[in-house]
């Protein structure tokens, strides 16, 4: 959760866009995406990716940036809080509005021991089909659909260490990051953070 200090509405809007753009750039860097791949992953044109790299906040609305994150599988919402008065006097919005950005949270799913070592299990988490691989007792979560032709990675995937091969057409992914290791897939699968609380496996979505 990111809280902006009390700013003018124009200043708060600029800061929110800057924060969202920084998150988008971080996602692109972490997956090593080219401009063409990033445009496809975020669902925008290539010039938009150039503006993103140049930090051109004037080229984006907040809605556009949220939609780009949503296209990449990142859930995010904005909540605006504006107290109406202070000591009986109505406060001007530019001095009373606070902006809060709420992003992903950990969701409890199944018992961790239900996924055998070296195995992969898929299940729905808040409407998204997510696969989880157990590599030596460490759990890695990622989208179940291969980005090549949407084959189920839990059903069609073969694990060798941290490399997952989709046997439909031979695409390979690193389960730790979701990055593509071998074609024909060109886009990474989205990876999710995991943790074990007690005996429950939790996934950040």
pLDDT digits (tens, 9 = 90+) for 47-95: 899 999 998 988 898 888 888 888 777 766 665 554 444 444 443 443 3
Do β-strands 191-192 and 138-143 pair in parallel, antiparallel, or remain unpaired? antiparallel
Q: How confident is the model at residue 14 (pLDDT cuts 50, 70, 90)?
A: confident
Domain boundaries, the chain: 2-102, 107-204
Check: CATH 3.30.470.10 for 2-102? no
Average pLDDT of the residues in 133-154? 95
CATH class of 107-204: mainly beta
Proportion of the chain above pLDDT 90, given as a percent: 49
Per-residue model confidence as pLDDT tens digits over 45-60:
888 999 999 989 888 9
Q: Which residue has the higher pLDDT, 12 or 181?
A: 181
Q: How confident is the model at residue 143 (pLDDT cuts 50, 70, 90)?
A: very high
Contact 204, 105 (CB under 8 A): yes
Rounded Cα–Cα distance for residues 68 and 161 (Å)? 32
Cis, bond preceding 184 (omega within 30 deg of 0): yes
> Half-sphere exposure of residue 163, counting CA atoms within 13 Å on the CB side?
9
Widest Cα–Cα separation across the chain: 68
Which pLDDT value is given to residue 107? Answer: 93
Q: Give the position of tokens 């260490």.
A: 161
Per-residue model confidence as pLDDT tens digits over 148-192:
999 999 999 999 999 999 999 999 999 999 999 999 999 999 999
DSSP letter, residue 113: G
31 pLDDT higher than 70: yes
Contact 23, 65 (CB under 8 A): no
Which pLDDT value is given to residue 130? Answer: 96
Mean pLDDT rounded to a whole number for the chain: 82
First to last CA, the chain: 14
């Amino acid at each position: 959760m990111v809280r902006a200090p009390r700013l003018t509405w124009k200043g708060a809007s600029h800061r929110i866009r800057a924060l969202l753009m920084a998150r988008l750039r971080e996602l692109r860097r972490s997956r090593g995406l080219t401009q063409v791949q990033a445009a496809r992953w975020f669902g925008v044109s290539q010039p938009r990716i150039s503006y993103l790299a140049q930090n051109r906040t004037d080229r984006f609305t907040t809605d556009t940036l949220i939609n780009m994150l949503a296209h990449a599988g990142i859930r995010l919402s904005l909540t605006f809080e504006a107290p109406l008065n202070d000591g009986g006097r109505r406060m001007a919005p530019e001095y009373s509005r606070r902006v809060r950005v709420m992003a992903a949270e950990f969701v409890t799913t199944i018992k961790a021991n239900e996924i055998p070592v070296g195995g992969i299990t898929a299940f729905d988490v808040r409407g998204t089909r997510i696969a989880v691989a157990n590599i030596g007792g460490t759990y890695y979560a990622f989208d179940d659909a291969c980005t090549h032709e949407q084959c189920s990675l839990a059903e069609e995937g073969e694990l060798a260490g941290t490399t997952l091969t989709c046997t439909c057409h031979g695409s390979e992914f690193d389960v730790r990051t979701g990055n593509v290791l071998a074609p024909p897939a060109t886009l990474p699968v989205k990876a999710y953070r995991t943790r074990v609380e007690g005996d429950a496996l939790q996934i950040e979505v």
